[in-house]
Structure 1
């Protein structure tokens, strides 16, 4: 039976993340993260810095925050809050002009009396509108302009509390106004019962069944309805707080003329009171300064205040400065509303990148709750560091370390694979074993099993006991040598752990004291202000490492930018002095001679041009049969790895 053809559907892309966009570049992110850690940041701080800066193709939190503040400033800089008052003033002037034009040719005393009424109107816009509420307009145009004032006030006051109501109530009929008043009455009754602690489940359902058309957000219960309304009502209050006392007084007076029905304003005031009681945590006392030329109506002003509040919340979320902050906290929908679709995509990609770094085992939580790089992350950083070193070595025409560390020359014989073997497979004998085993067991499909594998035997290759001693005194941090030193250690560690697995590497740091560290500790090591370059102690630890591996070729590598200024006494106390004491130099050279007796030649990688250091490391090289290399910082890794390979070739 034929397999039915697979069907695909294609439709218009409706926004959201680009489905064809590449996934976050975790290797680039990890390299950035590793660089920050190696420069002395904690992994947690390094991750924050990475999220702040972003990566190529994705804006970081700093850029998004800057755009949030620009958007906030733009709203305040372009707009002002007197839009409704200006529009009411314009309509009032139109009404008065049309009425006077109608009255002027009329010779009757009634016309003169009406003109006197118009001339005696109070100077304030709100007072004049109130005074004219019972005026019998003679001009139909004037009557229509005044009706538009009442209609505008009603729609603006509703828009303040219910987004979208201004458009819905365009050309509202008396029946529409009655429906709104009925809804407000039922709403206040519902919120009053809820505020009193009553169970309003049934009342809420009846309310939504009757008035649900006014709430496209479709709240599921009274609490969600209160949350929805309180945000808008608080924004309206903040807008009023931003006005002058005179403007607030005029608006309060004009509110009585909304749709020509004073009871509407009273219902809205009662609604605000209920919401303030139910949601006191909303910002009811805030304000903002608007200094632009674009006039906003009451509804637009309330929306602007909501936008400002949303932008303030986004700025806090993007700052990630509060305890337990996470990129998951960012309200992406709000970000898209304020900054556009691309900002939402960037925020989602940053969050995805942070989550992927954790999920893919690159970051882990330590026992003390802090973040740290996992061994997997350190291997990836080591691969990057080693790749850079290999590129430099190839540029110099030196040995290709990608092929370094293979077993010795084949002997011509094979043997069965055992756990831990790293020699190459003998493919033909392995496949033959699988075929013979399958045939002897009755045939069937040939499948490889562990017991089929044979490996090519090789000559035994000499092991090396490698001690990399790195200077961690403050001058290494101060002079920009900290990061190159760590990258060098990462590259050498990666080379030995992947290409020369039988070699034994010991990492030793030395400042006032010396200590042995693993690659994770060295990578995360923070620079500290501490005087002293205790090479004596470092060589002492290197000697112990070499003695633990008597069958291995000793390789001692020292990276330093200062002459020895500290030594270790027999009681474990580190003695520091600058300039160096003769005792310090003498004890250091004793350890050099001790290593030379073990067959170790010491390679010193001298950073900087300090003459006293240059003279002393020359003495070390002569007494140990080693050499001094003075690389620039970019070439430090290649110099150390190249010297390690040179020492191995001699074995």
Structure 2
């Protein structure tokens, strides 16, 4: 079956590639090279964010936290908690005005009646009522207390007051329900008994759970599940949901002024005459505070806005502010992308928008994607790069450096290096065991057709295999000496130098597999590095640039190899350390005479063993430039004085030109 594809003009609505493991790893390359640690690189990317293949920026934690703080502050700047009972207070003031009007009308009617006794009684009653109204407390709780025992003149005002009290009781009851669930929009007196039964059963279940006994969660949900529309699946989930709501209510109380808080408490005491229910609520709150201390029960918010909130709106704002606080705590304490998976993405979307939820979701999947792609793996509780990841990071470094080179320097790298990297002869030979498996497909299929007489499908046999000939006599052996002294990161030279090392290793291992590449890092002392260690190597927190020891180790490595031999040294400092005859490192700045002499003696030994030293000096000043020129005159190698920005261009061009020169001389000799 042939796959069919349909193409259309891009109109701006189509999306490109999804963000995948390869794209993430490409973004991670510089961080992995700089830090030498997968965990540190992932944390850095998690903080800073990244770009997907469409060029869209995925927000990092730093940007998300700033957005979260702005969202919280916007809510605080907009709203005012003083409006929780403003509407009811205004209604009380209005009915008091109605009562005053009724008192005045009753007095006028009595005075116009001509009945002196009636007029006198009306006058006394009006004085008493007006005095009580004049002495009415300003606070809502005080007004409710006084009006509850007040003898109304107006039947309409009395009826309105009774209705307000019922409404206020329902709000307080709803407040209790809201602390536990979001189930019932209106709480009537007929639900009181059932709510008390639920509260008692809930506290009993909680106590059993704390004692390690079977709490009977399924039976509880069967009886009272309608109180909890979220349908929690365990007693732990149920209690956590309740704790979040109670903590939100407590935060609202904490955020009120002392007067507002006292007023609400007095109202509750006056109107909620069911002491058993209040005791059950207090017991539940205390138990939940012990079980979930992380809910920040002492949290409070400073509302500075002008928009007054009713009880329901205030509770909603408190829950959302609590969610913002929990999300901020999660983001601040996340040590790896996988820890972000604990965030409720639906809640993030509601609080901060689609872009934030999308960025956070992709960050949370980052570690899993890289593991599933085989680029990183868990080892003893830490993330490390796999062999595939090591190859990938070298390939990325090589591709980046090659992409910067002018095409006329070393070509487009499309065909000149095939055949396992050796010089191509454009001839073929029958495949023999051990040959690089670089098939010439045309000749291989032609051999099979000749053998079988034609037909399809073509039946291939190992005897049909024909491979491209390559020249194997241009082998070279190279040791890369990488400066790991403290000055390299201080001058921003470390990352470009390490990237060149990774690129050179990738180039030789993939294109010139018969060549040898050794690695030596040097600072106060030098050490041999393996290719597996290279991605994780970092600078040394010591002073000293020990070229002497580095040349010694490089010369020893090359003594075991054949072919043309060279040392490529990348450094930003003159030699300031050497190994003394008794085997100890010696450091001095400025360079001591004995350090310079020891280093140059090792250069002479390399020269006698026909090892060319090519030096790449980064930001070379007068003294470093003078030393490199002196060393080059002894060894007859080459010196390149370059910058971090074009270091890779110089190294790769020089290496490739050297390979071509070797190939040309080998062909002439042949």
TM (normalized to structure 2)? 0.83
Residues 81-100 of structure 1 mapped to structure 2, 5 A cutoff: 81-100=81-100
Which among 298, 313, 317 is matched to residue 304 of structure 1?
A: 317
- Say whether 1:335 aligns with 2:351: no
The superposition leaves residues 255-274 of structure 1 with CA deviations (integer Å, 9 ceiling, x where unpaired) of 2565xxx4467625532423
Where does structure 1 lack aligned partners over 5 or more consecutive residues?
1-17
Counterpart-to-counterpart distance in 1, 2:658 and 2:238: 77
- Say whether 1:126 aligns with 2:141: yes
Where does structure 2 lack aligned partners over 5 or more consecutive residues?
1-12, 52-56, 111-120, 209-213, 663-670
CA contact (8 A) 1:155 1:169 kept: no
Query: Which deviates more from structure 2 when the two are superposed, residues 469-478 or residues 116-125?
Result: 116-125
- Say whether 1:564 aligns with 2:559: no
Counterpart-to-counterpart distance in 1, 2:646 and 2:335: 42
- Say whether 1:157 aligns with 2:157: no
Query: Which deviates more from structure 2 when the two are superposed, residues 463-472 or residues 554-563?
Result: 554-563
Counterpart-to-counterpart distance in 1, 2:532 and 2:507: 16
Counterpart-to-counterpart distance in 2, 1:325 and 1:352: 7
- Say whether 1:426 aligns with 2:440: yes
Counterpart-to-counterpart distance in 2, 1:600 and 1:277: 78
Query: Which deviates more from structure 2 when the two are superposed, residues 636-645 or residues 187-196?
Result: 187-196
Give the CA deviation at 1:435. 4.4
Matching residue of 2:266: 253
Which among 263, 284, 291 is matched to residue 274 of structure 1?
A: 284
| Matched pairs, number | 619
> Matched residue of 1:531: which SS?
coil
Distance 1:23-1:637 versus aligned 2 partners, 3 A rule: same
CA contact (8 A) 1:242 1:288 kept: yes
CA contact (8 A) 1:185 1:267 kept: yes
- Say whether 1:585 aligns with 2:559: no
Distance 1:227-1:141 versus aligned 2 partners, 3 A rule: farther
The superposition leaves residues 79-121 of structure 1 with CA deviations (integer Å, 9 ceiling, x where unpaired) of 2322133222201111111122233222344562544543443
> Matched residue of 1:397: which SS?
helix
Counterpart-to-counterpart distance in 2, 1:168 and 1:27: 47
The superposition leaves residues 169-215 of structure 1 with CA deviations (integer Å, 9 ceiling, x where unpaired) of 88x7xxx623321332221231243245385457525523xxx5443
Counterpart-to-counterpart distance in 2, 1:20 and 1:143: 66
Matching residue of 2:555: 543
Counterpart-to-counterpart distance in 1, 2:435 and 2:195: 80
Counterpart-to-counterpart distance in 1, 2:584 and 2:179: 78
Counterpart-to-counterpart distance in 2, 1:437 and 1:221: 71
The superposition leaves residues 344-396 of structure 1 with CA deviations (integer Å, 9 ceiling, x where unpaired) of 111111112232122212223345x4333333233233223222332343256
Give the CA deviation at 1:644. 1.4
> Matched residue of 2:561: which SS?
coil
Counterpart-to-counterpart distance in 2, 1:602 and 1:120: 101
Counterpart-to-counterpart distance in 2, 1:505 and 1:89: 85
Counterpart-to-counterpart distance in 2, 1:291 and 1:121: 29
> Matched residue of 1:591: which SS?
helix
Matching residue of 2:4: none
Which among 414, 418, 439 is matched to residue 429 of structure 2?
A: 414
- Taking only aligned residues, the RMSD between alpha carbons, in angstroms, comes to 3.3
Matching residue of 2:7: none
Query: Which deviates more from structure 2 when the two are superposed, residues 158-167 or residues 447-456?
Result: 158-167
Counterpart-to-counterpart distance in 1, 2:659 and 2:242: 76
Distance 1:99-1:416 versus aligned 2 partners, 3 A rule: same
Give the CA deviation at 1:411. 7.6
Counterpart-to-counterpart distance in 2, 1:371 and 1:244: 50
> Matched residue of 2:433: which SS?
coil
CA contact (8 A) 1:193 1:200 kept: no
Distance 1:458-1:166 versus aligned 2 partners, 3 A rule: closer
Query: Which deviates more from structure 2 when the two are superposed, residues 627-636 or residues 379-388?
Result: 379-388
The superposition leaves residues 515-572 of structure 1 with CA deviations (integer Å, 9 ceiling, x where unpaired) of 111344233222233222221222222222222113x111221222222222223443
Query: Which deviates more from structure 2 when the two are superposed, residues 332-341 or residues 274-283?
Result: 274-283
Distance 1:475-1:20 versus aligned 2 partners, 3 A rule: closer
> Matched residue of 2:142: which SS?
helix
- Say whether 1:532 aligns with 2:544: yes
